[in-house]
């Protein structure tokens, strides 16, 4: 085979796929270098596994910006926020997950746990938050009995609720 034929053959091997690839981006108006929600989700999983939690959270948020109802990205973002001690952000994500899957007991449980952790972290919480956490723990246990530490968390919250109402009763006298 002559050198010219070899060059033409090699050019076709490399140029044809490149032209097809570029044409697909032009036709579908997808900018080069853009990632899908799944790409960001997978990137977040890799970063999380390596211990880069803040970066993983950013990747999950990018996935959610592209695909707002992406359950896996939302759940993993909630876990990242919990691990980072951002309990209110984690609770917000679990609240959205409850709207997506209202019969998932772990979403109710994790929502309540993050609410409790936020209350403990700030050493304060509104009575509405306490009552909401109690309701979520009870809901998780109603859907599926036996979640670890539901009774402990309920006892803590019931005590907190009782203290709150005792303070109110004491101030109104």
Instruction: Give 6-21 pLDDT, tens digit per residue.
Output: 767 665 576 555 565 5
Instruction: Give 90-137 pLDDT, tens digit per residue.
Output: 999 999 999 999 999 999 999 999 999 998 888 777 889 989 999 999
Q: What pLDDT does 98 receive?
A: 97
User: What are the C-alpha distances in Å from 27 to residues 15, 34, 69, 159?
Assistant: 18, 15, 27, 63
Q: What is the dihedral of CA 107, 113, 114, 119, to 10 degrees?
A: 150
Model pTM above 0.85? no
Summary mean pLDDT of the chain: 85
Instruction: Give 39-52 pLDDT, tens digit per residue.
Output: 999 999 999 999 99
In sequence order, what are the residues at sequence separation of 6 or more whose Cβ sits closer than 8 angstroms to the Cβ of residue 145?
none
Q: What is the DSSP letter of 30?
A: P
At 136, phi and psi to the nearest 5? -70, -40
Tokens of 66: 């592209």
Residue 27 has pLDDT above 80, yes or no: no
Range of weakest confidence among 30-34, 80-84, 122-126: 30-34
């Amino acid at each position: 085979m002559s050198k010219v034929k070899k060059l033409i053959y090699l050019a076709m091997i490399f140029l044809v796929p490149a032209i097809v690839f570029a044409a697909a981006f032009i036709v579908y108006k997808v900018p080069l270098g853009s990632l899908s929600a799944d790409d960001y989700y997978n990137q977040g999983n890799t970063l999380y596994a390596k211990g880069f939690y803040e970066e993983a959270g950013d990747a999950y948020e990018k996935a959610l910006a592209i695909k707002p109802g992406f359950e896996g990205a939302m759940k993993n973002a909630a876990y990242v926020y919990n691990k980072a001690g951002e309990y209110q952000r984690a609770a917000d994500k679990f609240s959205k997950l409850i709207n997506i899957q209202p019969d998932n007991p772990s979403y109710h449980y994790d929502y309540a746990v993050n609410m409790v952790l936020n209350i403990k972290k700030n050493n304060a919480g509104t009575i509405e938050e306490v009552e909401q956490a109690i309701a979520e723990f009870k809901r998780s246990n109603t859907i599926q009995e036996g979640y670890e530490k539901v009774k402990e968390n309920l006892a803590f919250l019931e005590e907190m609720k009782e203290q709150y109402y005792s303070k109110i009763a004491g101030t109104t006298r």
